[in-house]
Structure 1
Amino acid sequence: MPGVLVTGASVAGPALAYWLGRGGWEVTVVERFDRLRDTGQNIDIRGAGREVIRRMGLEDEVKAAGTGETGTEFVDEDGRCVAYLPKGHDDSGGLTAEVEILRGDLARLLYRRTAHCSRYVFGDEITGLVERSKEVDVHFAGGARESFDLVVVAEGMTSRTRRLIFPDAAPRYLGLCLAYTTVPRIAADTDRWRWYHPGGGRAVMLRPDPHGTMRAALSFLSGAPGPADLPPADQARLLRRLFQDAGWETPRVLDAIDASPFYFEAVGQIRLASWSRGRVALVGDAAYCASPLSGMGTTLALTGAYILAGELLTAADHRTAFARYEALMRPYAHNAQRLVPGFPRIAHPRSRLGVRTLRAALRLATSPPVREAVHRASALFPRHPAERIDLPHYPEPR
């Protein structure tokens, strides 16, 4: 049976390992961190991604591990509700999706489902790739050398391994920086995603999790992605300077950033002319990151892994499989990357007038008459980006 090396043990990598392992392939997954990363923020699974989870037999487990988030609430500086949207009740609707789960919890479920049929190597990474006529020689940071029929890069937007194949690939920066952390839950917290706009091109968010804590995020408009390259101590000082007067629950979030690990990123997208070269292919964020602003990252990862595996298991050769995978996924990824015009600026007003205008628009958009009108007219609108693909059915492995 063919042997494939998959780099990255988050979502796309283990999902690909599941489908290829189920088809009888020998799968090795390498992860540069020394253990499974069970941390991360809320992610949602929509449309085709939800169907992939269903076909994996994981839907009930994913639902059981959900965050318990009941909707999205926009609040003012005193924590009073400005506007509210309940969670969705189908595969794709709502700012809060019907299926919300922490990234680390989903990664753990996928790992458990694949550990018996895949070899996982933690604490190592690829440093070199040499393609031969029928295999790829892989050099690892730990000193080992192995050969595989194929290599699939299932890493993040800033993938190191992708640089070995596409050295000129670079994220398209969207003008926003995000910092994520976890804060202790207090009695005043709710099971809603609370979103606060203090002005100055900033936003503060709190979201529930199933572990007795809250997930927090600070976001701000930035003309350059440079803050993401600063040392963590400098990032923490920058956040405290930018958010010191923001109000609401911001001091609590800043205290958590000072006291515990946090994740900082410059928000961007990946747009490449090709997702493969020779015997090496890309999947998930490494190939077509749509950014957290899209709400589609996990759905794209699951869908891409499913289609790539299905094509590899059924095509005559890897070239045909890679071409077919790209033909099916590229329109889907393109739709996911099309953000609302003006986003993220409209969600991060700079002036007091901008904040008041945004809040008025949110009140109007979430009012019962407007919501009812939108619901009645929904048949006239294009499908949600998460649904704009006819997910293939591949033959069951023998």
Structure 2
Amino acid sequence: MASWLARHGIQPTVVERASALRLGGNGVDVRGDAVTVVERMGLLPRVRELATDVRGMQFVDATGRAVARIHTQDPASPEIMRGDLVALLRAATDVDVLLGDSIRALEQDDDGVHVTFEHSPARRFDPVVGADGMHSNVRRIAFGPEERFITFKDHYFAFADTDAALGEDRWVTMFNTPGKMAGIYRSGNHAQAKAYFMFRSAPLDYDHRDVAEHKRLVSEAFAGEAGWRTRQLLDSALTDPGFYFDALGQVRMNSWSDGRVVLLGDAAWCASPASGAGAELALVGAYRLAGELAAANGDHRVVFPRYDAAHRPLVNDKQQIGPNVRLKVPKTDGGRCVRDVVARLPLMKAMSAVERRAQARNARPLPDFTRAA
């Protein structure tokens, strides 16, 4: 968003709670219109160079024997590690960045928004864009408590750095017991691998910023799980200070704007990691919002409804996560057996093709805002 605004001659300020650029995270897919957006930024060659080169997903039994494989690699839709994408975007963006700070209060009037920060002096802005994730601070201040907008999808997940020797090169390997999944993501172009954990649960009460508590919850969920390499993966992941844990949830809102405040990315429409669409939705949404702001000379009364109407059909499609969770975390042993049989059939590839065609039919055309840049 900041990069496109700067290209349009609008000078934004980025506020980031972390004290440094956060380069962690897992693999993200650049697909659909997001490929066009990245190409228009001039970054597509570098995205392809840094692609993870992961062939697909494989499911293993307790001994490590592969019982099913799904090839997901698509040369037209590169997958890149989130940290690599962040670094590319930052290098392409020359804007003011406030690190180690956060917004404390927003006061709107007819001429702008008075923003109070936790540490920096207060400043005024024309619009404020909240792009601060599922647990958005901006959304809480401007729209209300997150409980009004987040729908819990019955699972929790975690990922962290782990020993690459525990996984097979160029595959996402998963092992299941009823309601649980332990796995490892090993890119062909990266020395570092990622451990994955997901488990079915009733809602848990925890602080989403307390990493020590997150590690305890995952350890308890997988206590006694000794099959495959689950114990080794967990022991390795628990040593990573960047250990990430959260609920599998979706953000659903009737409107993404209130006056001069507007939401973008997971803050507005988190489709959950099960959708595999977080990067696509964020890249396309940011491109549309920045382009509409430039085209309408910053008139938020015109821009925000246009942005909502154009982008919401894609969001609605991607929030229909369908069988993705059941595929990765079957509830029962019987469900796992059925999953393994289905995964061995060409049906999965055909279903994906049908889904892509349906989304293409429902998608709104992507305007070429580069002419205004």
TM-score, structure 2 as length reference: 0.91
Q: Which residue of 2 aligns with 1:161?
A: 138
Question: What's the secondary structure of 1:383's corresponding residue?
Answer: helix
Q: What's the counterpart of residue 303 of structure 2?
A: 321
Residue 185 in structure 1 maps to residue 164 in structure 2: yes
Instruction: Give 1:1-398 correspondences, 5 Å limit.
Output: 16-91=1-76, 98-114=77-93, 116=94, 118-168=95-145, 169-186=148-165, 189-197=168-176, 199-209=177-187, 210-226=189-205, 229=208, 231-243=210-222, 244-261=224-241, 262-315=243-296, 317-340=299-322, 344-345=325-326, 347-363=328-344, 365-366=345-346, 370=347, 374=350, 378=353, 382-384=357-359, 388-394=363-369, 396-397=371-372
Cα distance in 2, alignment partners of residues 188 and 267 from structure 1: 24
Is the alpha carbon distance of 1:227 and 1:80 closer, same or farther for their aligned partners in structure 2, counting shifts above 3 Å? farther
Query: For 1:356 and 1:64, how far apart are their aligned partners in 2?
Result: 37
CA drift at 1:254? 1.2
Distance 1:215 1:302, change over 3 A: same
Q: Distance in 2 between matches of 1:142 and 1:387?
A: 44
* Conservation of the 8 A alpha-carbon contact between 1:228 and 1:265: no
Tell me the distance in 2 between the aligned counterparts of 1:40 and 1:258: 15
Measure how far apart 1:357 and its partner are. Answer: 2.3
Deviation at 1:200, TM superposition (A): 2.5
| Separation in 2, partners of 1:159, 1:270 | 10
Number of equivalent positions: 367
Which 5+ residue runs of structure 1 have no aligned equivalent? 1-15, 92-97
1:246–1:176 CA distance, 2 compared to 1 (3 A): farther
Indicate if the aligned counterparts of 1:31 and 1:121 stay in contact, CA closer than 8 A. Answer: yes
State the secondary structure of the residue aligned to 2:218. helix
Paired amino acid for 2:236: A
Letter in 2 for 1:276: S
Does the CA-based 8 Å contact 2:101-2:120 persist in structure 1? no
- 8 Å contact kept, 2:167–2:184: no
Match of 1:299, SS?
helix
**Cα distance change, pair 266–387 in 1 and its aligned pair in 2 (3 A):** same
1:239 shift after superposition = 2.4
Residues 1:224 and 1:322: Cα distance change in structure 2 (over 3 Å) = same
Residues 252 and 380 (structure 1), Cα distance of their counterparts in 2 relative to 1, 3 Å cut: closer
What's the CA shift string for 1:65-109, capped at 9, x where partnerless?
222212222222222222222233354xxxxxx411111111111
State the shift of 1:264 in Å: 0.6
Equivalent-residue separation in structure 2 for 1:346 and 1:85 (angstroms): 11
Q: Return the letter of the residue paired with 2:253.
A: L
Distance 1:37 1:387, change over 3 A: farther
1:104 to 1:386, Cα distance in 2 relative to 1, 3 A: farther
Give, in whole Å, the separation in 2 of the partners of 1:226 and 1:216.
24
CA distance in 2, matches of 1:395, 1:214: 37
Tell me which residue corresponds to 1:9: none
What SS class does the counterpart of residue 259 from structure 1 fall into? Answer: coil
Cα distance change on mapping 1:301 and 1:225 into 2, 3 Å: farther
- Specify whether residues 163 and 385 from structure 1 end up closer, same or farther in structure 2 by C-alpha distance, changes over 3 A only: farther
Distance 1:156 1:385 in 2: 26
* Residues 395 and 260 of structure 1, relative CA distance in 2, 3 Å threshold: closer
Question: Aligned-residue CA RMSD in angstroms?
Answer: 2.4
What displacement does 1:299 show? 0.3
Match of 1:10 in 2: none
